[in-house]
Amino acid sequence: MFVDIRGFTSLAEQMDPGQVAAQLNRFYDIASRAIFRYDGTLDKLVGDEVMAFFGAPLHADDHPKRALMTALKIMHEVKAVAAKDKIGVGIGISTGEAFVGNVGGKDVTDYTVLGDTVNVAARLQGAAGAGEILLAQETYVQVKTEFPQAIRRELELKGKSEPVVAWAMAG
């Protein structure tokens, strides 16, 4: 799962660095609390983006649902502070096989996930509008019974040779 603040560069241009840090810290707090609530692993905080994954290191059969519940919680919390912080987020979620473990060199390592499904989640996040969650097909198949309201889309994602089926949900 990738979560990104929409239009943050323009917002940050209008704030002093201390205000930027304060606003990012509020966003990071919202995202991290939601991720931990649903037993996700917070992978990275990069600029105005958060990366998380579910199902590792502790396995959970319902990890696609946990990711979606996290996304919905983040959207709800961001909307609650939107009047003050003037932010919206886009979220991308993809489910599939991935490398999970440490990468890096002799002096620095990072516990992370890698693979096509991770790249798809990142690209879906990039395609999501403010207030929108985009789910990869494999993710939606596993949650559609509980969340039938999603809208099917075919997207051209950077680096993908074929269009990708995604399911859009409002947060």
pTM, two decimals, is 0.94
**Quick count: other Cβ atoms within 10 Å of Cβ 126?**
16
Q: At which residue do the structure tokens 């473990």 appear?
A: 101
How far is 169 from 150, CA to CA, in rounded Å?
A: 5
Is residue 85 within a helix (H) or strand (E), and if so which, with residue range? helix 63-85
Rounded average pLDDT over 108-125: 96
Q: What is the largest CA-CA distance in the chain?
A: 48
Using pLDDT thresholds of 50, 70 and 90, give the confidence band for residue 50: very high
Please provide the average confidence, as pLDDT, over all residues in the chain.
Answer: 94
Q: Where are the domains of the chain?
A: 2-170
C-alpha–C-alpha distance, residues 116 and 121, integer Å = 9
Q: What angle do CA 49, 166, 5 make, to 5 degrees?
A: 20
* Each residue's pLDDT tens digit, 142-170: 999 999 999 999 999 998 889 999 999 98
Q: What is the mean pLDDT of residues 25-54?
A: 96
* Percent of the chain whose predicted confidence (pLDDT) is above 70: 100
What average pLDDT does the segment 66-73 reach? 97
Question: What number does CATH give the domain 2-170?
Answer: 3.30.70.1230
- Summarize pLDDT for 52-68 with one digit per residue, the tens: 999 998 888 999 999 99
What pLDDT digit, counting tens, does each position of 121-137 carry? 999 999 999 999 999 99
- How many angstroms from the chain centroid is the CA of residue 79? 16
